[in-house]
């Protein structure tokens, strides 16, 4: 990673972990699930409101490292207003990129910075925890573990 990207990476992670967006519960959520990283014990809970196929609201609470919190925060910003199908496409692509299998697209925006975890294999689970948890919630499961 060049130093410009490293700075961007650090600033974005710090910003979203210190001031997480959509960091609250949703009392009338239609879907929710808890994500657990067994390696560190960190937990987060995702709340989703689905209207038909559209994710009209999404939020999270919980305790986690800076990367897991920043990832959850970015995810909620990106996914709010999207359809389930669009979420699944973004999730698949992000998972491939974060685990180092896919090319990082030029126009990958903020997720490009988060995908930088591929250079730190121990942190991949931190970055993908919230994504697995949203996927589990949408499938009607109430918990997800990083694999
Ligand atoms: Fe626990 Fe990152 S160290 S999720």
Per-residue DSSP letters for the chain? --HHHHHHHHHHHHHHHHS-TTBS--TT-SEEEEEEETTTTEEEEEEEEEETTEEEEEEEEEE--HHHHHHHHHHHHHHTT-BHHHHHHHHHHHHHHHTT-S---TT-HHHHHHGGGGGSGGGHHHHHHHHHHHHHHHTT-SEEE--
**Cα of 51 from ligand 1 centre, angstroms:** 31
- Tell me, using a 6 A CB cutoff, whether residue 66 lines ligand 1: no
- Tell me, using a 6 A CB cutoff, whether residue 116 lines ligand 1: no
Q: For 1-59, write each residue's pLDDT tens digit.
A: 567 667 777 888 899 999 999 999 999 999 999 999 988 999 999 999 999 999 999 99
- Residue 41 alpha carbon, nearest atom of ligand 1: 1
Strand partners, 47: 32, 59
Residue of the CA atom closest to atom 3 of ligand 1: 65
The topology under which CATH files domain 3-138 is: Sufe protein. Chain: A (3.90.1010)
The answer to whether the beta carbons of residues 112 and 104 sit under 8 Å apart is yes
**Cα of 65 from ligand 1 centre, angstroms:** 5
Q: For 50-91, write each residue's pLDDT tens digit.
A: 999 999 999 999 989 999 999 999 999 999 999 999 999 999
pLDDT (0 to 100) of residue 120: 83
Q: Where are the domains of the chain?
A: 3-138
Conformation bin of residue 120: beta by default, left when phi > 0, alpha when psi is -120 to 50 = beta
- Tell me, using a 6 A CB cutoff, whether residue 68 lines ligand 1: yes
Handedness of CA 131, 137, 143, 144 (dihedral sign): negative
**Residue 18 has which token pair?**
């210190």
pLDDT (0 to 100) of residue 1: 56
Best mutation site among 68, 124, 147 for ligand 1 pocket (most ligand atoms within 8 Å of CB): 68
């Amino acid at each position: 990673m060049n130093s410009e990207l490293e700075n961007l990476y650090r600033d974005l992670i710090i910003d979203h972990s210190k001031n997480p967006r959509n960091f609250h519960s949703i009392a009338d959520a239609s879907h929710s699930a808890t994500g657990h990283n067994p390696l560190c014990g960190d937990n987060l809970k995702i709340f989703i409101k689905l209207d038909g196929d559209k994710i009209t609201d999404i939020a999270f609470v919980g305790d986690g490292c800076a990367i897991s919190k920043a990832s959850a925060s970015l995810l909620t910003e990106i996914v709010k207003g999207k359809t389930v199908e669009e979420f699944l496409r973004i999730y698949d692509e992000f998972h491939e990129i974060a685990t180092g299998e896919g090319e990082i697209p030029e126009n990958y925006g903020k997720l490009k910075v988060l995908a930088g975890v591929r250079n730190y294999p121990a942190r991949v689970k931190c970055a993908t925890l919230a994504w697995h948890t949203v996927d589990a919630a949408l499938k009607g499961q109430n918990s997800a573990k990083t694999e």
